[in-house]
């Protein structure tokens, strides 16, 4: 696998590159790995997550990114042993559509 390319954006609490931007007159937060994926492949289908093969949240190397569902994301985290405890986090993630 090629090397990770780390975002130059500020990191959010989860370590993802994140910034605020305006869309339709609203402030929305963007995550760097999602923007990188969209620049490479086009819009992310509704409800899909952009996941890291390299398990490195600030990485924006599109070779390391793949689309999955929220369920895939949870399964992936389970497999890697870093799932947050409790349903509250899962609900927040789903609501935010990012991850
Ligand atoms: Zn990477």
Q: Is the pTM value of this prediction over 0.85?
A: no
pLDDT of residue 97: 47
Q: Is 82 exposed, middle or buried (0-12, 13-18, 19+ CB in 10 A)?
A: exposed
Q: Kindly give the distance from the C-alpha atom of residue 17 to the centroid of ligand 1, in angstroms, as a whole number.
A: 13
Q: Is residue 87 part of a domain?
A: yes
CA 25 to centroid of ligand 1, rounded, Å: 33
Q: What is the pLDDT of residue 70?
A: 80
Structure-model confidence comparison of residues 86 and 66, the more confident one: 66
Give how many domains the chain has, as a whole number.
1
Residue ranges of alpha helices (H) inside 9-61 are 32-41
Provide the domain limits for residue 30: 18-96
The answer to whether position 4 is within a domain reads no
The verdict on residue 6 lying in a domain is no
Mean pLDDT of the chain: 85
In a domain? residue 31: yes
CA 31 to ligand 1 centroid distance, Å: 15
Q: Does residue 85 fall inside a structural domain?
A: yes
92 in a domain, yes or no? yes
């Amino acid at each position: 696998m090629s090397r990770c390319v780390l975002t130059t954006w500020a990191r959010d609490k989860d370590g993802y590159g994140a910034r605020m931007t305006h869309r339709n007159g609203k402030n929305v937060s963007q995550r760097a790995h999602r923007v990188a994926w969209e620049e490479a492949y086009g819009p992310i289908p509704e409800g899909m997550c952009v996941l890291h093969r390299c398990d490195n949240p600030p990485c924006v190397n599109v070779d390391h990114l793949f689309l999955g569902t929220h369920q895939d994301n949870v399964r992936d985290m389970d497999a890697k042993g870093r799932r947050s405890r409790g349903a509250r986090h899962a609900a927040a993630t789903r609501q935010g559509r990012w991850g």
